[in-house]
Amino acid sequence: MCGIVGYIGDKKAQPILLNALGKLEYRGYDSCGIAIANKSIEVYKDVGRVKALAKILEPHNGKVGIGHTRWATHGEPSKINAHPHSDCAGKIAVVHNGTINNFSRLREMLAEEGHVLASETDTEVIPHLIEKYYDGDFEKAVEMAVGEIDGAYTMIAIMAGESRLIAARKDSPLIIGVGDRENLIASDVPALLDYTSRVIYLEDGDIAVVSASDVKVKQNGAVIDREVHEISWSMEDAQKGGYEHFMLKEIHEQPKVIRDTLTDYLSKAETAADLTGMGGGSLENIIILACGTSYHAGLVGKYIIEDLVNVPVRVEMADEFSLSGQSPAGNQAIVITQSGETLDVLKAIKRLKANGNRVIAVTNVVGSSVTRAADRTIYTRAGPEICVAATKTFVAQLIALYWLALPYARVNAARLDELVLELRQLPVKVQQVLDNEAEIAAYAKKLAAYDNVFYIGKGINYPIAMEGALKLKEISYIHAEGYAAGELKHGPFSLLGEKTPVVAVVTQDNTYEPIVTSIKEIKARHSPVIVLANEDDDVMPDLADSVITIPRVDPLFSPVVNITALQLLAYFVAKERGCPIDFPRNLAKTVTVE
């Protein structure tokens, strides 16, 4: 969730740290800080944004430093709780992501030994543990401190008089940027791209010792080699490109994302992944695990696979799966994660594989933790997504799921050719939705006046109603809920009325007549209704208060065009309400804590 950076080289560290932290703002934070090491350590931190911190800093010539953007977990947002944290003597400073489960016991132990801890954070125990074990060997002291910690951590430590950064990783992402007479450390790629495109992905249990000219990685005390990867996208890909917000840019990139993802699959002679298991075999049970927006993609995937392949699919939230008492075996598992670093998903993979399940991962990040944990990875080729609210990565996940299922479709050859042709035409259909942006923005102005909104859908578009509601609540702060249309009668009907609009996703398939009935029932309760309907639907204009027209596609692919319209609707509602669209409060792009 939080952002971490570190720099060591022949340049001044301060401006590089501030720039790198700025590139991680999309991860969300409420305080920030940097520490620069020379003969002493200077720490600068406060509540608020990186730009505000930069304005109050005095220039510093030090060439070694660390930085952090923090979402409050242990302790409220405050200057004293902000990172970096230091030891008693102020000679060691640490930044940390994750959660230290045993910090209360460690804090008590350190206090009994005379250490004075000033903050409410779990992180502060780390520099004090390093101080406790330091006997002239900085590297050894960090290793011993890490050995005391129970929980998830990504950390970087610096020490006065030391020309090294020492980093450690467990259950939280950390990468090293390999430069020319300089090296960097960060929790995500955008922080590094102004300086290098060559990165090393650290793995769980790694401890890295980084100087300006060398990177040494250790695992269980032994020095090991970690491959250097070349990042395929540039910093320009992570810029707004003339759009007012990253979210709007990323919504408009979706036709290209679909083309790029399909091109990647179509250029290969093999299927996206073998659904039947290693070496073939029967296809009987599939389990899909994900969180948040990716969970909604998994729910759409259930309809796709069950419709095309005719096998049962079970979809679960990864965090709940990890807590359940069941230990399934013999399943083909699909895990979906935009970042490839979602902690609950990684825990679920470990549990699945421990019980003999084969795991296919769908992710957007090459080299991420999930790619190493899974048996096979399907990349979504969406490029960098900066806005906290996922848009183009969701659509790319849907495309990956279509392509995963199509080779196993139990349909005749003519129907399969028809589906592949429809899939190839999706970029054009999505562009038609984008070309209708002004109409959607006009409806958004009306919706922005309400405080509560219901979304409804049926069949394959029920998860799209859920995702549309999630987008609205994420960025506009309007309370929104997505329901299967028939479920409104089981409780939510009591909330309908003139002040509770309903957004209905309507597709002309076997769900059409039931959802028409639901809309009539909603209108009888005087709720305003906005409908997403096919452009040739002649019923909805007379039934609904407003109609957003959607180009006709095969119902199987309707989620792609429908979610594009709902993303735009959420965006323009949030804009009308003056919300911080790219960086909504309390949210983070990558969730690496439980």
Closest by CA position to 518, among listed 477, 457, 428: 457
The tokens describing 434, both together, are 């984008």
Of the chain, the end-to-end C-alpha distance in Å amounts to: 11
Q: Which helix (H) or strand (E) holds 413?
A: helix 413-435
CA distance 140 to 420: 58
Q: Give me the DSSP letters along 272-287.
A: SS-TT-TT------EE
DSSP 409: -
In this structure, what is the dihedral angle of CA atoms 557, 559, 561, 564, given to the nearest 10 degrees? -150
Task: Report residue 499 as tokens.
Answer: 């002040």
Residue found by looking up tokens 């020490």 in the block:
159
Active-site residue (options: 2, 32, 291, 387): 2
Among 131, 143, 141, smallest CA distance to 170 is for 143
Calculate the dihedral angle through the C-alpha atoms of 576, 580, 582, 584, rounding to the nearest 10 degrees: -120
Distance CA 418, CA 231 (A): 36
Measured between alpha carbons, how far is 153 from 147 in angstroms, rounded to an integer? 12
Name 140's Cβ contacts closer than 8 Å, sequence gap at least 6: 133
* Letter string b/e over residues 466-489, b meaning 16 or more CB atoms within 10 A of that residue's CB: bbbbbbbbbbbbbebbbbbbbebe
Query: Exactly one of 63, 132, 170, 589 is catalytic; which is it?
Result: 589
* 2 noted as active-site residue: yes
d(CA 231, CA 234): 8
Pairing assessment for the beta strands 41-47 and 206-210 based on DSSP bridges: unpaired
Backbone angles phi, psi at 241, to 5 degrees: 60, 35
Between CA 176 and CA 208 the distance in angstroms is 9
List the structure tokens of 86: 């230091």
Q: What 8-state DSSP symbol labels residue 253?
A: T
Angstrom distance (rounded) from CA 470 to CA 468: 5
Q: For 340, phi and psi rounded to 5 degrees?
A: 75, 10
Which residues on neighbouring strands pair with residue 185, listed in sequence order? 6, 176
Backbone dihedral angles phi then psi of residue 110, each to the nearest 5 degrees: -65, -40
CB 191 within 8 A of CB 68: no
589: annotated active-site residue: yes
Catalytic residues: 2, 589
